[in-house]
């Protein structure tokens, strides 16, 4: 409509020309003016729609966090309500934990057994060390007796029988010393290897028991608002992601820019570019005052692939003729003014209007100026949606 008004000057000029001459206006004498009007309107229409693409599929996407239990059992406490704000680490609900507590006590009892075993091994080592000392002293005495018996035989004062008895006693003393030393080594190995290994195993079992007990308390991993809470005390805790206990709508990260996504026709790829100026109007921002209704933005990224062309391996060969639906070109936009991000509502639908301004010369400036038509059309669309009580995309009540 606006294009027709802007290009109607040949017909208007011809009308006043005929009126000044006193000639009647007919189809025949208006044919050139009407043809020129149609040609200019078509040229302006093509220029505007090609160089200033518009998308009705703008969206502020967001993700939700599904809350499920890590272990099964009846719920003993629900610590939150619908629409309650939670922070990281806040308790959401508890699950019956008698089994986990018993396992934790058993793991803790293992430490008492290991402590007692360590004390016993220490006492055993002391006994073994004392036994080694006694056996060593006894062996020294038996060695002296053997040497005395051998000396007496050498002086023909002793008997061979006494020497054999002394040798036998000395051998027994060596065996006793070796046995005592073996007991000492065994006690040392118990203290340096067996007890530490048992302690590490007990620590692992204790940590596992603590983790199992911790799983009975479900806490929030994000800041956000609880919604779709459909459980109560006594309800069985679900561990299935498709059947969550509740859903949390997380807060927007402060360190990440808010990005609006929009799907453009694939033929608009040649006109779109990163850094391209744009305007965004969203359903949730429309107001009578028109304040913060049309927001300046800029194209930041253009996805280098069309989603519908993605091929997923499966058990059947893909027939491309069945993929008749053409996908859209996904474009990411950011608002020019960061303070306007707080008025945006997650999930809202938007109209995205882009404007080409990267062409040089007189023609480039003329093409950029035609974006005013699109800007006016966007505002008229917003007013029409407000007055009619429907959404910007034409849907509503």
Cα 387 to Cα 268, 345, 391: the distances in Å are: 31, 21, 10
Higher pLDDT: 43 or 330? It is: 330
Look at residue 7 in the predicted model and tell me its pLDDT.
63
Hey, is 58 helix, strand or coil?
Answer: strand
User: How many CB atoms are closer than 10 A to CB 71?
Assistant: 17
Output 163 or 115, whichever has higher pLDDT. Answer: 115
Q: In this predicted model, which residue has the larger pLDDT, 9 or 298?
A: 298
Q: How far apart are CA 75 and CA 95, in angstroms?
A: 4
pLDDT exceeds cutoff 80 at 108: yes
Give domain limits for the chain: 1-40, 48-62+252-309+324-397, 74-94+219-249, 98-214
Q: Which residue has the higher pLDDT, 179 or 263?
A: 263
For residue 372, the 8-state DSSP code is H
Lowest mean pLDDT among 25-34, 59-68, 209-218, 364-373: 25-34
Closest CA to 351 of 289, 304, 285, 291: 285
Contacts of 344 (CB under 8 A, 6+ apart): 60, 258, 260, 282, 284, 285, 335
- Among 123, 228, 226, 235, which Cα is nearest to 184's? 123
151/107: higher pLDDT: 107
Q: Which residue has the higher pLDDT, 90 or 205?
A: 90
Q: Which residues pair with 264 in a beta bridge?
A: 329
- Checking if the pLDDT of 397 tops 50, the result is no
* Higher-scoring residue by pLDDT: 287, 218: 218
- Return mean pLDDT, the chain: 84
Yes or no: say if 342 and 20 are a contact pair by the CB < 8 Å rule.
no
b/e burial code for range 227-248 (CB count within 10 A of at least 16 → b): eebebeeeeebbeeeeebbbbb
Phi, psi (degrees; rounded to nearest 5) at 259: -125, 130
Q: What is the DSSP string of 19-35?
A: HHHTPPP-TTTTHHHHH
| Backbone phi and psi for residue 168, each to the nearest 5 degrees, phi listed first | -60, -45
Residue 186 in tokens:
């065994």
Nearest partner of 113 among 195, 42, 182, judged by Cα: 195
Kindly give the interhelix angle for 9-21 and 31-51, rounded to the nearest 10 degrees: 160
Within 8 A by CB and 6+ apart from 311, the residues are 318
Tens-digit pLDDT profile for residues 226-269: 999 988 898 888 888 888 999 999 998 888 889 999 999 999 99
Question: What pLDDT is recorded for position 3?
Answer: 60
pLDDT at 92: 95
Distance of alpha carbon 175 from alpha carbon 369, whole angstroms? 109
**Spatial CA neighbour of 296 closest among 316, 315, 276, 272:** 276
Distance between CA atoms of 329 and 302, rounded to whole angstroms?
8
Stretch 282-305: mean pLDDT? 90
Look up residue 114 and give its two tokens.
């290991």
Q: What are the φ and ψ backbone dihedral angles of 221, each rounded to 5 degrees?
A: -100, 5
For residue 218, what is the enclosing H or E element?
Answer: strand 217-219
Is 48-62+252-309+324-397 in CATH node 1.20.58.100? no
């Amino acid at each position: 409509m606006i294009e027709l008004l802007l290009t109607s000057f040949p017909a208007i000029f011809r009308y006043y020309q005929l009126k000044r001459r006193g000639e009647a206006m007919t189809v025949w004498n208006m044919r050139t003016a009407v043809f020129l009007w149609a040609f200019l309107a078509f040229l302006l229409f093509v220029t505007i729609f090609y160089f200033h693409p518009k998308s009705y599929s703008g969206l502020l996407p967001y993700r939700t966090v599904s809350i499920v239990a890590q272990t099964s059992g009846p719920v003993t406490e629900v610590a939150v309500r619908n629409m309650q704000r939670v922070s990281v680490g806040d308790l959401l609900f508890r699950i019956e934990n008698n089994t986990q507590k018993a396992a934790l006590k058993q793991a803790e009892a293992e430490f008492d057994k290991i402590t007692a075993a360590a004390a016993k091994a220490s006492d055993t080592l002391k006994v073994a060390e004392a036994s080694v000392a006694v056996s060593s002293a006894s062996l020294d005495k038996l060695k002296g007796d053997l040497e005395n018996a051998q000396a007496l035989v050498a002086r023909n004062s002793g008997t061979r029988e006494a020497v054999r008895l002394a040798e036998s006693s000395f051998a027994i003393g060596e065996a006793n010393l070796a046995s005592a030393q073996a007991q000492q080594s065994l006690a040392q190995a118990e203290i340096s290897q067996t007890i530490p290994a048992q302690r590490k195993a007990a620590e692992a079992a204790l940590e596992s028991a603590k983790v199992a007990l911790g799983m009975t308390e479900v806490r929030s991993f994000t800041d956000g608002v609880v919604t779709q809470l459909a459980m109560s005390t006594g309800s069985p805790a679900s561990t299935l992601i498709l059947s969550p206990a509740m859903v949390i709508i997380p807060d927007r990260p402060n360190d990440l820019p808010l990005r609006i996504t929009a799907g453009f026709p694939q033929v608009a790829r040649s006109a779109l570019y990163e850094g391209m100026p744009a305007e965004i109007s969203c359903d949730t921002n429309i107001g009578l005052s028109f304040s913060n209704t049309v927001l300046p933005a800029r194209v930041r990224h253009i996805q280098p692939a069309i989603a519908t062309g993605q091929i997923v391996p499966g058990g059947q060969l893909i027939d491309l003729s069945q993929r008749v639906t053409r996908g859209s070109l996904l474009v990411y936009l950011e608002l020019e003014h960061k303070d306007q991000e707080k008025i945006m509502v997650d999930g809202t639908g938007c109209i995205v209007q882009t404007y080409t301004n990267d062409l040089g010369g007189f023609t480039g400036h003329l093409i950029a100026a035609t974006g005013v038509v699109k800007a006016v059309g966007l505002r008229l669309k917003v007013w029409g949606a407000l007055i009619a009580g429907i959404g910007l995309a034409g849907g509503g009540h």
